[in-house]
Chains A and B, each alone.
Chain A
């Protein structure tokens, strides 16, 4: 049979597709995990693709039902009912991809002009002699004097401790690693300095090794924060740390040990050793920042919530216990406030291209959600809201982390429900994006009253057991006799409390800036959860203002990207400091009328579904 060459973009997978094979089937064959809640029957309209080039089968009845005329004209089709009629290029919008698939391809990179703080200088030093008995360090500094830039006049003490034997071993050729006026390492000739960028989250840690001469990421790795053993959230860790100086030291030690291990593993992957790491940039929330370098944390969580230090820090990595190049520095981006740390600053730096010169909201959704409103004049207003762990699947009856089997997408129909699990595995629970979808869909289907009460008789899957109302996603029968997976009345309320916190945060920032939501040009949603949520459903429950979908940018781990940028460029670090000067911090809980606003925002507003 004839086949056609079909090219999926921007994923970059292609192959020969038979004319009787739908794009949905063919995408799956190529390992592209398109969302399909209805099993490819044209019912759920989630597998939307855009035909960029080439001929395909005519639009089906399902296409006409689910897509607007404009979308059809722009080449949008449902992949399940669309077949090739020639070679073609098919665009896959991010929202049509499953979670796991998106995390692989959505690690977007922002171009930055390289301006690292450290650089390697290749040197050939004169041998000392009885006629010219110059000290080794003096020879080194003298050799560096000829080059442009600031006069290098200091050599780190740990470099001095090994300089003499090393120079003799390398026959007086070496690579001096220079940072500003200081030699922080002397390596064998030909060495290239690398840098370590880390997003130190309360739960997860993302590490990247960068070649500082090229800006290229040579290794990356995700791991868990080992402090988890001492408390899952920020406040429980602060509580642990305050119990005694020994416990605070313990948290510091395990975090540093974790970073040393991360550095060693990344270097091993790149065929290097940790002593090649000439600079480290770590971003984290204020508590992680403080715990990493042994600063007291209890004042962070008590009114008036002040950090011990907010300025950017550059300290000797060894003083923090990090084993990198002999004189390497550990750099920490500035903190905005007790609950807004360097990770938020990093996120703002990484997304500057999205918000610069515009009216923008940038937020990172987590147990604490940090939100900034930026205006075209560059002013930034920031606040933090206690959104709680519900969006991460905690405090939800069948809540689970985003692992295989977690229900990540939900669609409620008149008679039933469709869903998709991560990895298409047997459903095991509901993760954050799934629970948000469920509440949004239940609201749109009229199952919930305005205060989130599940209405009996509103849908065949609503039931009441032991005085608790619930909406059943997977029945006992469907699970072969095991406990049903459902969204309970309590779950609905937990999510409404969480969304109200964020909605109130956004509302207060808009009010303080005298802006209407419609005036926002862009909403940047960062972080793991925020990257996978369905924005339409988030709008339906009021989490975000009802703006056209093309104003939303789901940017993934922007904090990690910001750390990489800060590592690669001193200009970006200057921007971080400069940004801090423009930030106006608001304490949400003290905002006049906060509880009334918060209470009102616990409601579900009547909405027209977007689009």
Chain B
């Protein structure tokens, strides 16, 4: 059961001659089995926090702990390995590889996971497709799918290596109402299944599903709103 702790996190960017503070002394904890929402205006630092938790970016100051282990100090190879094993990303723009079919997109993370043999990969892909109700789309390319279907493929890809943490950056930003609900329900199910799900979203619907909501304002994280 994973536990994530962000401690005294600062992130600064240099923009021309200016220094922009995207995160200012953020302290927060996330636990397994819950769905967390981070809301706020554009540019408030929500995605910055998410990507730093996901080890895609490096804090200027502060630390991130996964199960009490300081992961901010890891080298690139170790961070990649942790990302591969423990973290699944879902993006607003889906970010599927348009040159690969649906099943091949889901296979992508499994290539670098030595626990999967060829047969196990096939099995896993089949299982994920069934779970997300896109079993009949296995041999289609992303351009042949609807927005909702694409996002479900992205979720399947994020779940390929059975991560403990799911990080979703505006997962419903490009979807209609019906598909929004479907996606949020999937995320809720995942959290109930024991995963730690952190969602960055503008969508007020998230309040219906989140266990905790944080608000980001100008790089600062306010307390639990909900």
Q: Do A and B come from one complex?
A: no
Interface residues of B (CB under 8 A from A): none
